[in-house]
Amino acid sequence: MSLKTTTESRIDAAERLNPQLNSFLSIERESAVKRAGELEKDERDLPMKGVAIAIKDNICTKGMRTSCGSQILSNYTAQYDATAISRLYNAGAIVIGKTNMDEFAMGSSNESSAFGAAKNPWDVTRVPGGSSGGSAVAVASGVCRVALGSETGGSVRQPAALCGIVGFKPTYGRISRYGLVAFASSLDNIGIFGAAAKDVAECLGVIAGRDEKDATSADVPVPDYTKFLEKDISGKTIGIPRSLLGEGLDDEVRESILHSIENFKSLGANIVDVELPHAKYGIAVYYIIATAEASSNLARYDGVRYGFRAEGAHNLREMYFATREEGFGAEVKRRIMLGTYVLSSGYYDAYYSKAQRVRAMVKQDYVTAFEICDAILTPTSPSVAFKLGAKSDDPLAMYLNDIYTVSANLAGVPALSVPSGLSSEGLPIGLQLVGNFWSEPTLLNLAHKYETAHPLNARPVLFRL
C-alpha cells in the first residue's frame, strides 16, 4: 500500500470517528496527502517516513490553527513550526491533524476545552483524561500510532492510562519547548503517546536533543532508544512507595498495581520498598507553582497583539477586561486568579517561596530513592476513567486525579505510563514508572518488556478498522 493510500486511510478513520470522539480540532487532509505524495518520491531512508502523527493543539505547526483549546486563540494560525515539529518533518513524519485539549492544558479530563470534551473510545460517556485527551484518543482509537501531547503535571501519562496506551514524559530539557505554548514554564514538557513503547522510542529519538532556540534544553547526547528495548531486565531494581498505595486509591487499581509488581518479579526484576515522604505535598505545591507561572504566561493574551479581541469596549481597560472575560474559560480564570494571589504582596513568601522549598524536597526524595533502585512503580491515576461531568463542579476532586503524576514534573525526572490491565467494567488501568534523570532508555526497556509479556489485547469499542 502506498504512503498516500495509507495516509488517506488514517484521515478517513479520523473523520469517521471524530463526530463521536471529538479528538481532533482540525484534520489536515490536503496538506497530509500532499506530503505523503512527496515522500513517495523521496528515496531517502528516513526514520519516521510516512508515519502519521497527531499533534496537541498547543504545539505550533506553521499554517495550521493552534488554539490551545481556547476561544481566545480560536482564530490563531501558527506562523512557525515548533522544534519538535520541524524534527518530525525532517524525519519523514506526516501531521494529520491537531487534537483537542483542556484549555491552555489546564485540566485533567479534557472537559475545559472551549470546543467540547473529547470522549474516551472505550466508553464515550467517560472522559479520556487530560489535558492531552485528544492525542490520547487519536492513538487509542487506532487513527495513528504516535501523537504529541504536553505535560505540566501528568497531562500525557494520565490520559494514556485512562485510554489504555503508553504515555511518556521526558526529563525536563530532553525535548525542546520552543513552539510549545507556555502554561507553567518550569514544569512544561512535550510528551509522546504511543500504541507501544517502541513507537515512543522511535519518536523520542527524532525529537530529543539540544536546541539553541530553547535555553532550557539540555546538551546531553541522544541515544538510539530502540536499541535498549529488548535488553534483559533481570537484575533491574524497581522501588515501591507503599505509602502511596493506601487511602484514595481505587481498589481495582490497587489490585492491578500489586499484580504488576508480581509480573515484574516474574520478569527477573528485584523489588524494594522506597520512601517518597514529601509526595503527599505534591498537589498543593504543584497548584501553587503552576498557577503562579500561568498567571504570568497568560498575561500576554490581552486582545492587542494577537488572538481574540472583544468588541464594544470604550477604552483600553474595558477592552482588556472584556477580552479576557469572554476569551478565557472558567478553569483558566480560576488558575490565573490563584496564581496572581500567591504572587501578590504579603503572600509570596507564605505560598510561592515555601512551595519552591518543598519542591526541592520532592526532588531530593527521588534522588535518595534512586540510590537503591532503577525505577519507581506507582499507579498512574487513582481511578479508571470517570463519567463526563462527574467532577466538573468539584475542582479539588479533579485536581486529585494528578496525585501520582505531579511529583515527577516538580522534580524534572522522566516518567511513563503503560497499561497494566482492565477493570471489571472493561476500562484500562495504567501503571507508572518513574526514572532517574536521563534514564529514558531504562524506562522504555521496562515498559517494552512488560507490555510484551503482559499485553493489553483488548481494543476500545471505537477502534479504527
Q: What are phi and psi of 332, to 5 degrees?
A: -65, -45
In three-state secondary structure terms, 320 is helix
Burial (Cβ within 10 Å: 0-12, 13-18, ≥19) of residue 246 = exposed
Helix (H) or strand (E) run with residue 147 in it: strand 146-151
What's the CA gap between 374 and 371, in Å, rounded? Answer: 8
> Residues near 188 by Cβ (< 8 Å), separated by ≥ 6?
150, 151, 152, 177, 180, 182
- Which residues does residue 218 pair with via DSSP β-bridges, in sequence order? none
What's the CA gap between 246 and 429, in Å, rounded? Answer: 17
pTM: 0.97
In three-state secondary structure terms, 20 is helix
- Residue ranges matching CATH 3.90.1300.10 in the chain: 3-277+364-453
- Which residues does residue 168 pair with via DSSP β-bridges, in sequence order? 192, 416
Buried residues in 202-235 as b, exposed as e (16+ CB within 10 A): bbbbbbbbebeebeebbeeeeeebbebbeeebee
> Residues near 23 by Cβ (< 8 Å), separated by ≥ 6?
14, 17, 54, 99, 100, 118, 119, 128, 133, 134, 135, 137, 138, 141, 143
> What is the reported pLDDT for 465?
59
CB 434 within 8 A of CB 366: yes
What's the CA gap between 465 and 463, in Å, rounded? Answer: 6
The CATH number of 3-277+364-453, from 1.10.10.10, 3.40.50.720, 3.90.1300.10, 3.30.465.10, is: 3.90.1300.10
Active site residues: 56, 131, 155
> What is the reported pLDDT for 307?
84
Query: Could you check whether the bond before residue 243 is cis, i.e. omega within 30 degrees of 0?
Result: no
Give the position of cell 528515496: 43
Of 17, 20, 189, the C-alpha closest to 105 is 189
In three-state secondary structure terms, 50 is coil
Q: With a cut of 50, list the residues of the chain below it in pLDDT.
A: none
Numbers of helices and strands, H then E, in the chain: 14, 11
DSSP letters of 352-375?
IIHHHHHHHHHHHHHHHHTTT-SE
Of 190, 151, 226, 211, the C-alpha closest to 447 is 226
- Can you point out the beta strands (E) in 267-326? 270-273
What's the CA gap between 213 and 18, in Å, rounded? Answer: 35
